[in-house]
Amino acid sequence: MGRSLRIALLSYRSKPHSGGQGIYVRALSRELAELGHRVEVFSGQPYPELDRGVPLTRVPSLDLYREPDPFRTPRPAEIRDWVDLAEWATMCTAGFPEPLTFTLRAARRLLPRRDEFDIVHDNQSLGYGLLRLVRAGLPTVATIHHPVAIDRELELAAAPTLRRQLTLRRWYAFTRMQARVAGRLDGITTVSENSRRDIAARMGLPPERTAVIPVGIDPLRFTPPPEGQPRDATSILAVTSADVPLKGLVHLLEAVAKLRTERPVRLTVVGTARPGGPAEAALDRLGLRDAVRFTGPVPEAELVGLFQRATVVAIPSLYEGFSLPAVEAMACGTPLVTTDAGALPEVVGTKAGLRVAAGDVGELTAALALVLDSPSLAEQLGRAGRRRVLESYTWRATAARTADWYAETLDRRAARREGDEQC
């Protein structure tokens, strides 16, 4: 290992049990600490679950999108300063304020402590507050899992009315800020070659400025089922962080409805159906209320159990910058049926799953049926997936490569400053 570094890891949201952000923050901070670095996490709500030895500095927001009362009106006493006021005003005008307001608050906490850290690593907030750190001379880098502009494009394409399109354009206005900020940081990392290309195309960053460091899992936690434990022959599993068009959940529901004309299959979705959203409407339209279960967020141990019991994991996404659930499924020896969207072919490869065209319900149905009806194929795919994870996708490898990238970034920055002084 190289030099020990003092790292501030920032994340504006770190939901611990669903979505990749909280998992990324917890695992990366834990493994960096295990490698001998000192890591302190700065996060807004929902706060992450962290491992022993990794301190958390809470950066509280107004938490205007919390369940069960999202888009709530804060009490007057909750408005403490102009940042709180800006957060509330942006929400009231249909914008999403958290990437900006989190970084402004985080900068307030970090600037008085700038000598305590060698580097600041932002997890896709990319708000203007980071530029305060840059101006103060604090080395600042960021992870971009994928450009959020892609989410914007897919949601706009699915919007049924002009009013909905205008609302979405306002909501995603923060993506322009993210592109501006990313270009002024000391370094950017992303999780796949596909994401690096998309970042170049949609955020204007030259590909050579972005390092690719895949994320991973802990193969001692995500394991195949114990010897002798059977899988549920009718169980399909999906893991989704949000009920949005990007995730292709309605296409999966349509495939399940087709499968149920010949097989008593059941679908478990780790995630939550948005009230009045497309998934709920599809459940009623397809008569699937008794065949589909949404679990909501689940702890890691329960998630592992779901992977171990499922016969197949479906990832019907229209885009993925990486797909942590795909890697988790492979680690558990569970075969995959995925689309060809985004980085999924890159992550899964050709031997751990079957691949279908994104948005093609017929192909998705046929591939799921093939795995469900062929235990030998399912076992072959599962074994190949486990091997792929052990070779390519562990959090220890992610942390080691990230630490090397920090050191390279700091060395490059020091050389640039030395050159400027000589000029």
Summarize pLDDT for 137-168 with one digit per residue, the tens: 999 999 999 999 999 999 999 999 999 999 99
CA 281 vs CA 261, 275, 284, 286, 415: distances in Å: 20, 9, 5, 9, 57
User: Residue 245 — very low, low, confident or very high, per pLDDT cuts 50/70/90?
Assistant: confident
Q: Does residue 331 carry a pLDDT above 70?
A: yes
User: Residue 416 — very low, low, confident or very high, per pLDDT cuts 50/70/90?
Assistant: confident
User: Residue 17 — very low, low, confident or very high, per pLDDT cuts 50/70/90?
Assistant: low
Secondary structure class of 11 (helix, strand, coil): strand
Q: Does residue 423 carry a pLDDT above 70?
A: no
Q: Output the pLDDT for position 183.
A: 97
Question: Global pTM?
Answer: 0.91
Do 95 and 170 contact (CB within 8 A), yes or no? Answer: yes
Rounded mean pLDDT of 41-47?
97
Secondary structure class of 394 (helix, strand, coil): strand
Secondary structure class of 389 (helix, strand, coil): helix
User: How many CA atoms lie within 13 Å of 238's alpha carbon, on the beta-carbon side?
Assistant: 30
Domains and CATH numbers, the chain: 6-216+395-422 (3.40.50.2000), 235-392 (3.40.50.2000)
Rounded mean pLDDT of 18-43?
93
Task: Quote the CA–CA distance of 108 and 13 in Å, as a whole number.
Answer: 18
> In whole angstroms, what separates CA 265 from the centre of its chain?
28
Average model confidence (pLDDT) across the chain: 95
Task: Quote the CA–CA distance of 114 and 110 in Å, as a whole number.
Answer: 6
Q: Output the pLDDT for position 26.
A: 96
Q: Does residue 95 carry a pLDDT above 70?
A: yes
Contacts of 186 (CB under 8 A, 6+ apart): 134, 139, 140, 141, 409, 413
Maximum average pLDDT range among 19-28, 68-77, 231-240: 231-240
With vertex at residue 14, the alpha carbon angle to CA 280 and CA 246, rounded to the nearest 5 degrees, is 40
Rounded mean pLDDT of 359-383?
98
Strand partners, 189: 143, 211
Provide the 10 A C-beta neighbour count for residue 70: 11
Q: Does residue 1 carry a pLDDT above 60?
A: no
Lowest mean pLDDT among 38-52, 158-172, 240-254: 240-254
Secondary structure class of 275 (helix, strand, coil): coil
